């Protein structure tokens, strides 16, 4: 494992040289992630690693891509998706137009999950799904809608547990070990790079999903991000987080009401 002081030096340098600010990331996880890249890329001395990061912008980009966690799956936590399908989508369906933001979408599996549910609810045609991440490489994967075939069996199980009743295999074409999801699903998706640490609100949404992203941030940054979501959410809109995340340390509880027993909150006043 790298030393604390080395990690702090790296954080300072990445901010100074490139403007990416990891200063408010949770240290325990960040330290593991940085150590992982350090050993993965065969470095022996921290100063060599640091000087590579400083002098090689391509390498710095690779390092940032590697330290941000990009583990995701389709219909992750099926009971959460079941609640979205049964209770949230019918409420959103009454609107003439539905705007959804997947913040920290990673390789996009949850965005495609949402599109499938919207399609089955007859709402996809009047929806738009913004999907953003700090990491440009994962957005390329997300755009392509191509995911490893070995995961599909688990995804099909999740889909069924989340209330899906169609034949899941109708949504993709399998080839060469990959599943390519139908373009009819991605037609309504807009992908762009967005950094929750430094970028601002860019639209008003009816549903914001940010699942297992806040866990990597300290309390101050969580507060900033939750307020960014608040600025971006219409009244009566929904905010959905990961199963172990909460907004209770970040924003006044009189403004938000927790929905069902999932990590979904409804904004009840401006």
Question: What does the binding site for another protein look like in residue numbers (CB under 8 A)?
Answer: 1, 26-29, 32-33, 69, 71, 212, 214-216, 218-219, 222, 242-246, 249
Question: Residue 37 or residue 98: which is nearer to another protein going by CB?
Answer: 37
Question: Residue 215 or residue 260: which is nearer to another protein going by CB?
Answer: 215
Shortest Cβ distance from residue 218 to another protein (Å)?
Answer: 8
Question: Residue 107 or residue 212: which is nearer to another protein going by CB?
Answer: 212
State the Cα–Cα distance between residues 81 and 110, nearest whole angstrom.
Answer: 10
Residue 173's CB is within 10 A of a number of other CB atoms, namely: 12
Q: Each residue of 96-134: b (16+ CB within 10 Å) or e?
A: eebbbbbbbbbbbbbbbbbbbbbbeeebbeebbbbbbbb
Question: Residue 44 or residue 261: which is nearer to another protein going by CB?
Answer: 261
Half-sphere exposure of 195 (CA within 13 A, CB side): 14
- Is residue 180 a contact partner of residue 143, using CB atoms and an 8 Å limit? no
Question: Residue 105 or residue 118: which is nearer to another protein going by CB?
Answer: 105
First-to-last C-alpha distance (Å) of the chain: 46
Shortest Cβ distance from residue 70 to another protein (Å)?
Answer: 9
Shortest Cβ distance from residue 188 to another protein (Å)?
Answer: 27
Shortest Cβ distance from residue 200 to another protein (Å)?
Answer: 24
SS3 98: strand
Shortest Cβ distance from residue 69 to another protein (Å)?
Answer: 5
């Amino acid at each position: 494992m790298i030393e604390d002081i080395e990690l702090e030096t790296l954080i300072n340098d990445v901010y100074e040289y490139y403007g990416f600010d990891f200063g408010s990331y949770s240290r325990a996880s960040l330290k593991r992630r940085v150590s992982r890249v350090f050993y993965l890329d065969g470095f022996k001395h921290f100063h060599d690693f640091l000087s590579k990061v400083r002098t090689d912008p391509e390498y710095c980009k690779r390092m940032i891509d590697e330290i941000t966690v990009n583990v995701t799956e389709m219909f992750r936590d099926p009971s959460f998706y079941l609640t979205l399908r049964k209770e949230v989508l019918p409420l959103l369906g009454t609107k003439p137009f539905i705007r959804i933001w997947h913040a920290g979408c990673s390789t996009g599996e949850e965005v495609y999950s949402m599109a499938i549910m919207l399609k089955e609810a007859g709402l996809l045609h009047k929806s738009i799904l913004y999907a953003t991440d700090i990491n440009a490489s994962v957005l390329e994967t997300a755009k392509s809608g191509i995911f490893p075939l070995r995961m599909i069996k688990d995804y099909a199980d999740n889909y069924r547990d989340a209330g899906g009743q169609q034949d899941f295999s109708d949504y993709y074409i399998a080839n060469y070990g990959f599943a390519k999801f139908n373009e009819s699903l991605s037609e309504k998706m807009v992908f762009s790079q967005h950094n929750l640490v430094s970028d601002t609100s860019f639209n008003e949404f009816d549903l914001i999903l940010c699942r297992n992203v806040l866990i990597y941030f300290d309390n101050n940054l969580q507060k900033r991000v939750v307020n960014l979501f608040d600025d971006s959410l219409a009244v009566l809109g929904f905010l959905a987080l990961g199963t172990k995340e909460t907004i209770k340390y970040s924003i006044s509880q009189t403004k938000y009401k927790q929905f069902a027993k999932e990590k979904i909150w409804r904004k009840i006043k401006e």
